[in-house]
Amino acid sequence: MKIYSKTNVLTEAENRINRLFDEFENVVVGFSGGKDSTVCLNLTLDIAEKRGRLPLKVVWVDQEAEWQGTADYCESVFADKRIEPMWFQIPMKWYNNVSSSEKYIHIWEEGKKHIRERSSISIKDNVYLDFGFHELFERIFKVHFPNQKSCYISGVRTEESPKRLMSLTSGLTYKDITWGKILNRKLEHYTFYPIYDWSYSDVWKYIFDNNIEYNRIYDELFRQGVGVTNMRISNLHHETAIQNLLLIQEIEPDTWNKVAERIDGVNAVKHLKDESFRCPDNLPHMFKSWKEYAFFLRDKLADDEDFVNKMNKVIKKNEKYMITNLVYVDFYKQIIKTILSQDFDFTKITNWMTSQYFNTVKKYVDGKITKQNIEINKKYNKYIKELL
């Protein structure tokens, strides 16, 4: 449930960031070149300047297969004298979501020709860990700030994910704050999300109202007809940005050539085009059920044992909730999308399972609510309509 206050989201975000400066001797901003991190950076930079807390440390984990426009924008941001750049271009093993045969890509691999030249100001030695994007930030803080009470500001917003909304409002992270997560409690390292309750329109309004320079790749995506809620500035082998590969040739042909040469599976995306990693709307005629189709794809395409085992556990755990045809079809469509996009983090299926629609079905099956309890919601919940 959302609770509205009398203040606007801008005032709330400023209050939250000021609170972080009160509580932490070391405040660091995470930056990706995207619109959300652009807002967090500028909000924090203004407050740091007013409070005499400059220079502001800013972290960018550069994953090599980035838009050139993103790299250029980040480099221009790091030229600001108020910023202490922590630009990571370190060798690491990363998921490769565009290939069904090569699960990993080794970014910034030594001895290999890179997609882009590494910057003279970047950090190039990996003294952190070999694999694990989410774990990397904890290790960065442990290495660089072992004796400082520190916080990391991130531009995560809950509008884009029901899972995020639940995780950021259901438990305490630090004192009375819910809008964050613990990096390392012993070292007093935390991550916070001060714009977690902003909408995408709040983000763009702040950028334009304050005449802030932003990543111009957004303009190019808009010209290509990409909806404002579907624009992604992620690295180009990430599962949320795969469809951007179809636009690189139009927007940045040189980047396309370099990415196609470097990353296995990119050319396959090009030839499949709009069918890349997309679950069909209708069940292919050669299969009797969506479950059969999902298992066929699992057996033919998912050759990573850990991926298959995790998928089988998800299916087994949730089979009891397939009490209506619509729930059953939607569940296996999410499994199919997970397989086709090589979504090793299971982002798609997790987001679907944490939606209010499926959550109500789970509560009903688990005996936490009755038909009488949920009847009032049948007008708004497609799964309940079928159930009642």
Domains and CATH numbers, the chain: 9-200 (3.40.50.620), 290-387 (no CATH)
Nearest in space to 91 (alpha carbons), one of 72, 76, 105, 103: 105
In whole angstroms, give the CA distance from residue 203 to residue 185.
Answer: 31
Mean pLDDT, consecutive 10-residue segments, the chain of 388 residues?
Answer: 80 98 98 97 98 98 94 97 98 75 82 93 95 89 97 91 68 92 96 96 97 96 87 73 72 87 64 60 92 92 86 94 92 91 82 83 85 66 73
DSSP 36-71: HHHHHHHHHHHHHHHTT-PSEEEEEE--SS--HHHH
Q: Which two tokens stand for residue 157?
A: 């917003």
For residue 249, give the H/E element and its range: helix 245-251
**pLDDT tens column, 137-194:** 999 999 999 999 999 999 999 886 666 666 677 788 999 999 999 999 999 999 999 9
Under a CB-based contact definition with an 8 Å cutoff, are residues 42 and 212 in contact?
yes
Residue 127's φ and ψ, nearest 5 degrees, are -115, 25
| pTM for the full predicted model | 0.77
Q: Which residues pair with 84 in a beta bridge?
A: 57
In whole angstroms, give the CA distance from residue 321 to residue 359.
Answer: 10
CA distances in angstroms from 381 to 322, 326, 333, 369, listed in the order given: 15, 11, 18, 15
